[in-house]
Amino acid sequence: MESAVAIGRIVKVLRGKGQDGLAVIIGIVDDRFVLIADGDKRRFDDPKKKSLLHLELTEAISSEVVNSMQETGRVTNAKLRFAIQKYIERKGE
C-alpha cells in the first residue's frame, strides 16, 4: 500500500475534535503538517491544519478532488463529501 502524503488522499483523524472522522487532504504545509477538510463541519475555505502524527493515511486517493485541485486550485465541499461517502461505501463492501 502506498502511504505517501498527497492531495486528495482520504485520512482518518486520530486526535482532536474530529477524532475517528474522515477528511481529505487539500493542502500540504510542510513535511509535518497538512490541511484537511471534509466538506461538512470543516469546509474547503476553512481547512484544519493537522499534524501527520494525528492522522492515519488510507490507501484511497480521490481522483475527483485531485482533478479539481489541478484544474482550478479549488474543490467544492460537495465533492469532498462525495469522495468521503464513496470511500465509506467501497470500504463497506
The per-residue pLDDT for range 8-51, each reduced to its tens digit, is 999 999 999 889 999 999 999 999 999 999 999 999 999 999 99
Asked if residue 61 has pLDDT above 90, the reply is yes
End-to-end alpha carbon distance in the chain: 19
- pTM over cut 0.75: yes
